[in-house]
Amino acid sequence: MDNLKSLDNLIENLYKLPGVGKKSAERMAFSLLEFPQEDLDEIANAISELKKKIHFCPICGMITDIDGCYICDDKNREEDTIMVVCFPKDVLSIERSGAFHGQYHVLNGEISLSKGMDVSSLNIDSLLDRVEKGNFKEIILATNPTVDGETTAAYLNKLLEKYNVNVTRLAYGLQIGGNLDYVDPLTLSKALEGRHKI
């Protein structure tokens, strides 16, 4: 049945999506066969329209679909703290926590030793520019707690040394609701190191 071209074509295309294997793509395609045409059109439209309005904010590098940026334009946010993250989705995660009300700066990438150092493609110049011209008291380097994230943080920390600003890093430790049995030894030792009085 290599003949059902539209089905095969869809399976091939769904297979391009991250986290979708050959078998899932097939299951999805067969299930889409049972969707009404208007739903298919709606999904198709959402995919093809996705990038048409989205661009990067020239100030913070976050994705936006308006002239300005939802965060940079928000006058209610604190203006003396800036959190540096690697990817736009990190902003969503942190916003969801509701714990941060300052500015963001999105690097749109991270230094990857495995893929070769790629500093030039990162949104770093505009960060230094903002720090130099702005009046920030603290810069939180919220890159991932991975080798690449740590490397990126160390690189930024070096660059930021010459400015009169506190550079901080998010705390390492146990995950809320986690189980000590399943915590890796490095995290456990970091959690112990960072213990606090109750």
Binding site for a second copy (CB under 8 A): 1, 3-7, 9-10, 12-14, 16-20, 24, 26-33, 35, 37, 39-54, 63-66, 70-71, 87-89, 91-92, 95
Q: How far is the CB of 135 from a second copy (least distance, A)?
A: 25
Q: Which is nearer to a second copy, 14 or 165 (CB)?
A: 14
Q: Which is nearer to a second copy, 111 or 167 (CB)?
A: 111
What's the start-to-end Cα distance of the chain, in Å?
A: 66
Q: Can you read off the two tokens belonging to residue 188?
A: 């456990």
Please give the sequence-ordered ranges of beta strands (E in DSSP) within the chain, or none if there are none: 55-56, 63-64, 81-85, 103-106, 138-141, 166-169
Q: How far is the CB of 55 from a second copy (least distance, A)?
A: 11
Angle CA 44–47–52, to nearest 5? 125
Q: How far is the CB of 171 from a second copy (least distance, A)?
A: 23
SS3 content of the chain, % helix, strand, coil (to 5): 40, 10, 45
- For residues 91 and 193, give the distance between their C-alpha atoms in angstroms, rounded to a whole number: 27
Q: Which is nearer to a second copy, 95 or 150 (CB)?
A: 95
Q: Which is nearer to a second copy, 11 or 127 (CB)?
A: 11
- For residues 93 and 97, give the distance between their C-alpha atoms in angstroms, rounded to a whole number: 7
Q: Which is nearer to a second copy, 89 or 101 (CB)?
A: 89
Q: Can you read off the two tokens belonging to residue 129?
A: 């520019």
Q: How far is the CB of 66 from a second copy (least distance, A)?
A: 8
Q: How far is the CB of 83 from a second copy (least distance, A)?
A: 14
Q: What is the β-pairing status of strands 55-56 and 63-64?
A: antiparallel
